[in-house]
Amino acid sequence: MSCPNLIYRTRVHRPIGVGDGYGGDSTPLEIIDPSMKCYVTIRSTRDLLGAGKDAAADEITGYFAFDADIKRGDRMEYVQDQRERDIIDTPLSVDVVTLKMGLRGGGFKTAKLRRVS
Per-residue confidence of the chain (117 residues) as pLDDT tens digits?
566 788 999 999 998 876 555 655 556 788 999 999 999 999 887 665 666 666 667 889 999 999 999 999 999 999 999 999 999 999 999 999 999 887 776 789 999 999 987
Indicate the pairing of strand 75-76 with strand 92-101.
antiparallel
Q: What is the pTM of this model?
A: 0.79
* Helix/strand number for the chain, H first, E second: 0, 8
Angle at 40 between CA 110 and CA 63, to 5 degrees: 25
For residue 20, how many other CB atoms are within 10 A of its CB? Answer: 10
* Domains located in the chain, CATH noted: 8-115 (2.40.10)
